[in-house]
Structure 1
Amino acid sequence: MQREQNSKQRGNYPQPSEVVRKTELRSVSLKAALVIQNWYRGYRARLKTRQRYALTIFQSIEYADEQGQLQLSNFFSFMLENYTRVQEKEPGLVTRLFGSSIQDKDRQDYLGLIEVPDSYCGPRLQFPLTFTDIDLLIEAFKQQQILHAYYVLEVLFETKKVLQQMPNFTHTSTSPSKEITICGDLHGKLDDLFLIFYKNGLPSVSNPYVFNGDFVDRGKNSMEILMILFVSFLVYPNDLHLNRGNHEDFMMNMRYGFTKEILHKYKMRSVLMPPIPMDGDRAEKKNKLGTTIVAQGIRTSGSFSEQLTKQEWEQVVDILWSDPRGKRGCYPNTNRGGGCYFGPDITAKILNKYQLKMLVRSHECKPEGYEICHDGKVITVFSASNYYEEGSNRGAYIRMSSGTTPRFFQYQITKATCFRPLYQRVNAIESSAIRMLKERMISRKTDLTRAFQLQDRNKSGKLSMGQWAFSMENVLGLNLPWRSLSSHLVTTDKDGNIDYMSGFQDVHIQKPVKEVQSTLIETVYRYRSDLQIIFNIIDSDHSGLISMEEFRSMWKLFKSHYSVHIDDSQFDELAERMDLNKDGSIDFNEFLKAFYVVHKFDKLNKSDNKLA
């Protein structure tokens, strides 16, 4: 009995061996938890690195395209100087490209051309506009209704009238009890604007806003964003401020989608720019060459005071296109091809000169929606989330008031795919970026192959990693981490040498005609956006048809300006083959659609080829 009682008493207390075992178990569990935690942190870090690389690809290609856009503006100047000499048969074409058909007509002269039918069930705006119209418009756009062209024109005319009465620089004030909200690029992302208004409230006297330009292009709802902002501006002209971005520009709109969106939703260009018959017999011709003169590009009419000097034009470009960088000084913006890079010393100099504390700007997509640089004196804010691809970046806006530090509000529009695991989202972003990069490579296949072969002195078909990366950067002009990206683009042998032609095995440009040389195919594909803008401008009645003479003449000028070394006979042969019905005209949009990139592995499950 005594032994049993002693045993029970001992059982009430942990024995030394049990304490040691439990301590060891806790230690092992803690070490395991730390190992798992460290692995997970490393795993997320690798995913974030891949995401940053993908964003770098998107941004590098975007900026390279903008370089092409600025080169295109130089082409129009070149064409203006040379076209009459090259094509004396069509002097009216130059007028269509550079003339002005806008006449000083009364507002009602335009609005009188449009009727709002009784069947129209969308929003009906009442002028003068009130807060109710803002709410009405937003609710209608949430229901995916289209604002009738009559009201669009009224808003445009009224906005133009008010803006013309305002100075180029506007001043606003805040107080500790009254903040101001600053938004960056929206780029047609209507859901982002809805979210900003939901979280932050609609514009009002007590809730002022600044929108930092780039309202349009890329997204599908540029017109809706523009109408909401313009109507809000008309209701609160002293409390909603609209700055111009580099995408508030006719030529940018031609490339990046706003013009196409307008024509798709309204087809109203003939009303915005009424047709004017040409002089003489040409006015009586029934073909499209003699029916209209549409104002495009450079305005040639008006007094001298309305024209910008070269210095003024350069100032506007610098304001709209420049970016901050860490390097001191001011030097050319080589990525975009326009504007400049400015360092922290330039920022400090300008702020001190004008007694300013801070510069809040936009114009650059940032992964977190904003970025602070130059010792806190420059803030970049970008409000379009998912800009390049769903899940690619967050959007943000800033609230500021007198005597307080800026407050940043981040968000991301979430759809079904955004609820997928992080590695799946990163795979999708990465796959899209690699796809774009491979299309860039295939458009320069001939040049890349030539550069590779110059490095490959033994004719082995292989290059070192350094040689391959040098050739890629030199030909494509993209400052990318090529060594890190090589595993996605080419195959590498056990010695680390790259089979440089393997980068073209799973992708090629569809050839509309088998006999056409690859160099011509690549050139047309590479410059397809530029060519589409040029020919859309020529196609003033938007019939989609281009005469063979216009086609050949414009190509010769384009080839000369861009130093394209292709024999004219090759292009003429291609043009003849594309004129399927032999009516002397080419459906140019169909012509461009024939040149597209085929990815052989599109149908494969992307997740099978991606490892986190």
Structure 2
Amino acid sequence: MLEWFKSGKSLPKRYVWEIVLGAYEHFSKEESLVDVDVEDGVTIDVIGDVHGQFYDLLHLYSLTGEPSDKHYLLMNGDLVDRGSWSIEVILTAFAYKWLYPKFMYINRGNHEAKDMNSTYGFEGEAKHKHGDQTYKLFAHVFTTLPLATLVSATKPPNVKNSKDILSPEGRKRFFIVHGGLFSKDEVTLEDIRKIDRVGKQPGTSGLMCELLWTDPQEMPGRGPSKRGVGIAFGPDVTKRWCTLNGVSGIIRSHEVRQDGYQIEHDGLCTTVFSAPNYVDQAGNKGAFIRIDSTGHQEYSQFEAKPHPPIKPMAYVQGGLGNMMM
């Protein structure tokens, strides 16, 4: 399939539906907060936004390796829109989910949503390549994607730091979510787990919206979002939430970082972004984060790869639109 995609061919619609429905079978059984334990000898790579940049995704997968019983992948939302190979990206990720449901995980991003897909290209691309009904299938399956993943190390940390916030069992665990934290302090992991997400769009308020849309800020407290949706949350908000929930750190995506990643909020909030040279003009590196069974994190950066001469947002009427992520 990957070779087929690289040569510019489209899959027959029947195979597209089989892959999407195969992945759907697993997403629909997962809770809104998925628990992933990283056992001894296992690693998991956290991948940020890839935004339809298929040729960069191929390079990224060559660095991470495919999902396996010793190496899991977690894609943290915004697989589609902007880049003009969103179908190829999402079908590759969904095929891995169908094949390896316990080794491949995908969180929903704010772009796995109808209003964004109609504006930023995925709807047009899906209809162009596979027809209206196929787009509607994707739109529903996007609502079954989990909203966050709790990655738990199964061994105590190699180096114990007095500042570390650990789980009740004395282990590191990381809350992986596309956007970030909330407009109120007392939200628990259990509250997130119980969100009724299937069939629903993120909207402009509430827990689902905030999980997918919020951003960190340098100032303490909370502030207005630069996006007009969600909020911005400060380092004190992050520390209180991590302490309340026994979480060692938040890993989120949703924003370009020139180095591909940035560690913020006194080490408690890390942004990872995996679309290098975003929309062919940002000049940024991509990155991914590898976590092992002790909770140790390793950061890897990569550069953009050449792609065929199709511009970003090729399937959007009226050109590039605005650049809000």
TM-score surpassing 0.5? yes
1:412, distance to aligned residue in structure 2 (A): 0.7
Q: Distance in 1 between matches of 2:201 and 2:119?
A: 26
Question: 1:150 corresponds to which letter in structure 2?
Answer: R
Query: Helix, strand or coil: the match of 2:35?
Result: coil
1:198, distance to aligned residue in structure 2 (A): 1.1
1:399, distance to aligned residue in structure 2 (A): 0.6
Q: Please give the residue correspondences for 1:122-137 in structure 2 after superposition, counting only pairs within 5 Å.
A: 137=1
Q: Please give the residue correspondences for 1:282-293 in structure 2 after superposition, counting only pairs within 5 Å.
A: none
1:175, distance to aligned residue in structure 2 (A): 3.8
Q: C-alpha deviations, 1:84-142, integer Å up to 9, x for none?
A: xxxxxxxxxxxxxxxxxxxxxxxxxxxxxxxxxxxxxxxxxxxxxxxxxxxxx222222
Aligned residue number for residue 247 of structure 1: 111
Bigger helix fraction:
1
8 Å contact from structure 1 (residues 176, 404) kept in 2 = no
Q: C-alpha deviations, 1:423-469, integer Å up to 9, x for none?
A: xxxxxxxxxxxxxxxxxxxxxxxxxxxxxxxxxxxxxxxxxxxxxxx
8 Å contact from structure 1 (residues 217, 253) kept in 2 = yes
1:264, distance to aligned residue in structure 2 (A): 2.0
1:383, distance to aligned residue in structure 2 (A): 0.3
8 Å contact from structure 2 (residues 5, 88) kept in 1 = yes
Answer yes or no: is 1:355 the counterpart of 2:219: no
Answer yes or no: is 1:212 the counterpart of 2:76: yes
Q: Please give the residue correspondences for 1:146-185 in structure 2 after superposition, counting only pairs within 5 Å.
A: 146-185=10-49
Query: Helix, strand or coil: the match of 2:270?
Result: strand
Query: Helix, strand or coil: the match of 1:265?
Result: helix
* Structure 2: runs of 5 or more not aligned: 141-195, 308-315
Bigger strand fraction:
2
8 Å contact from structure 2 (residues 123, 135) kept in 1 = no
Question: 1:190 corresponds to which letter in structure 2?
Answer: F
8 Å contact from structure 2 (residues 126, 134) kept in 1 = no
Identity of aligned residues (%): 32
Query: Helix, strand or coil: the match of 1:167?
Result: coil
Q: Distance in 1 between matches of 2:102 and 2:54?
A: 23
Aligned residue number for residue 330 of structure 1: 222
Q: Distance in 1 between matches of 2:203 and 2:95?
A: 34
Q: Please give the residue correspondences for 1:397-476 in structure 2 after superposition, counting only pairs within 5 Å.
A: 397-415=288-306
Query: Helix, strand or coil: the match of 2:17?
Result: helix
Aligned equivalent of 2:213, options 321, 324, 328: 321
Q: Distance in 2 between matches of 1:202 and 1:356?
A: 28
1:174, distance to aligned residue in structure 2 (A): 1.6
Question: TM-score by structure 2 length?
Answer: 0.72
Aligned residue number for residue 230 of structure 1: 94
Aligned equivalent of 2:64, options 189, 192, 200: 200
Q: Please give the residue correspondences for 1:92-103 in structure 2 after superposition, counting only pairs within 5 Å.
A: none
Rate the CA distance shift 1:330–1:414 in 2: closer, same or farther, 3 A.
Answer: same
1:270, distance to aligned residue in structure 2 (A): 5.0
Query: Helix, strand or coil: the match of 1:231?
Result: helix
Rate the CA distance shift 1:244–1:389 in 2: closer, same or farther, 3 A.
Answer: same
Aligned equivalent of 2:7, options 139, 143, 153: 143
Q: Distance in 1 between matches of 2:282 and 2:42?
A: 33
Aligned residue number for residue 269 of structure 1: 132
Q: C-alpha deviations, 1:336-391, integer Å up to 9, x for none?
A: 00111111111011111110101011000000100000011111000000104346
Rate the CA distance shift 1:197–1:353 in 2: closer, same or farther, 3 A.
Answer: same
Aligned equivalent of 1:369, options 257, 260, 265: 260
Q: Distance in 1 between matches of 2:206 and 2:268?
A: 25
Q: Distance in 1 between matches of 2:269 and 2:207?
A: 20
Q: Distance in 2 between matches of 1:162 and 1:376?
A: 33
Q: C-alpha deviations, 1:230-289, integer Å up to 9, x for none?
A: 1100111111110000000011011101111112212x1157669xxxxxxxxxxxxxxx
Q: Distance in 2 between matches of 1:273 and 1:387?
A: 27
Aligned residue number for residue 284 of structure 2: 393
1:144, distance to aligned residue in structure 2 (A): 2.1
Query: Helix, strand or coil: the match of 1:349?
Result: helix
Rate the CA distance shift 1:205–1:307 in 2: closer, same or farther, 3 A.
Answer: closer
Question: What is the count of residue pairs matched by the alignment?
Answer: 256
Q: C-alpha deviations, 1:409-429, integer Å up to 9, x for none?
A: 10112449xxxxxxxxxxxxx
Runs of 4+ residues deviating >4 angstroms: 270-274, 304-313
Answer yes or no: is 1:346 the counterpart of 2:237: yes
Q: Please give the residue correspondences for 1:1-16 in structure 2 after superposition, counting only pairs within 5 Å.
A: none
* CA RMSD across the alignment: 3.0
8 Å contact from structure 2 (residues 82, 121) kept in 1 = yes
Q: Which has the higher contact order (CA 8 A, sep 6+)?
A: 2
Question: 2:75 corresponds to which letter in structure 1?
Answer: F
Rate the CA distance shift 1:150–1:412 in 2: closer, same or farther, 3 A.
Answer: same
Question: TM-score by structure 1 length?
Answer: 0.39
1:163, distance to aligned residue in structure 2 (A): 1.5
Q: Distance in 1 between matches of 2:252 and 2:278?
A: 17
Rate the CA distance shift 1:205–1:167 in 2: closer, same or farther, 3 A.
Answer: same
Structure 1 or 2, whichever has the larger Rg, is: 1
Identify the range of structure 1 (163-172 vs 397-406) with the bigger mean alpha-carbon deviation.
Answer: 397-406
Question: 1:406 corresponds to which letter in structure 2?
Answer: Q
8 Å contact from structure 1 (residues 179, 401) kept in 2 = yes
